[in-house]
């Protein structure tokens, strides 16, 4: 595998990122792949990326092979800034080679620099490889359960 370079995502990366989301949403059954919606969401996310959100990409040569995004929130429980990680995905041809861990490390460094005290994420309960990956990378499961309501 070529050397992996981690860098911040840009609007120019959207098509490559949508391709990765297609892989992610084929695993996570709670989501349906909708390229137009994903392009719109990525555009909204990236157009004014600032200290409150970040998206990192992993590159092998000229190809995006991974991504992770995070955005801040205020935790009233801890009385601090926190961030939620979304869309951590590595191309199926590059999994198991440390790309995901490097993406997580990039977000963790951004969080520390931004004064964020803890990170959280959602993971599909049936995606056992992902759950194992997070555990190996120091994440703990909680008793919390996500609920959603579409408006």
Rounded to the nearest 10 degrees, the angle between the axes of helix 35-47 and helix 14-27 is 120
pLDDT digits (tens, 9 = 90+) for 7-42: 999 999 999 999 999 988 887 777 778 889 999 999
More confident residue, 25 or 63: 63
CA-closest candidate to residue 92, choices 53, 50, 129: 129
The share of the chain scoring above pLDDT 90, in percent, equals 74
Q: Which residues lie closer than 8 Å to 64 by C-beta, 6 or more apart? A: 13, 16, 17, 19, 20, 57, 58, 91
Give residue 132's pLDDT: 95
Assigned fold of 4-136: Aminopeptidase (3.40.630)
Domain ranges across the chain: 4-136
Contact 100, 91 (CB under 8 A): no
Contact 134, 120 (CB under 8 A): no
Q: Collapsing DSSP states into helix, strand and coil, what is residue 136?
A: helix
Give residue 48's pLDDT: 77
Taking the C-alpha atoms of residue 60 and residue 120, their distance in angstroms, rounded to an integer, is 27
Q: Which residues lie closer than 8 Å to 145 by C-beta, 6 or more apart? A: none
Q: Which two tokens stand for residue 138?
A: 């120091």
Give residue 103's pLDDT: 98
CA-closest candidate to residue 53, choices 83, 11, 17: 83
pLDDT band at 1 (very low <50, low <70, confident <90, very high): low
Give mean pLDDT, residues 105-127.
93
């Amino acid at each position: 595998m070529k050397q992996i370079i981690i860098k911040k995502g840009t609007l120019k990366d959207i098509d490559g990122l949508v391709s990765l989301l297609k892989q992610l949403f084929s695993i996570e059954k709670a989501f349906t792949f909708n390229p137009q919606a994903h392009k719109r969401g990525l555009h909204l996310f990236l157009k004014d990326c600032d200290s409150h959100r970040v998206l990192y990409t992993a590159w092998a040569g000229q190809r995006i092979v991974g991504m992770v995004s995070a955005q801040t929130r205020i935790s009233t429980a801890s009385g601090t800034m926190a961030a939620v990680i979304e869309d951590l995905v590595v191309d199926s041809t590059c999994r198991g080679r440390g790309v995901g861990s490097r993406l997580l490390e990039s977000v963790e460094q951004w969080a520390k620099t931004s004064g964020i005290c803890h990170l959280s994420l959602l993971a599909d309960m049936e995606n056992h490889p992902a759950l194992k990956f997070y555990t190996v990378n120091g994440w703990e499961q909680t008793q919390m359960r996500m609920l959603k309501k579409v408006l």
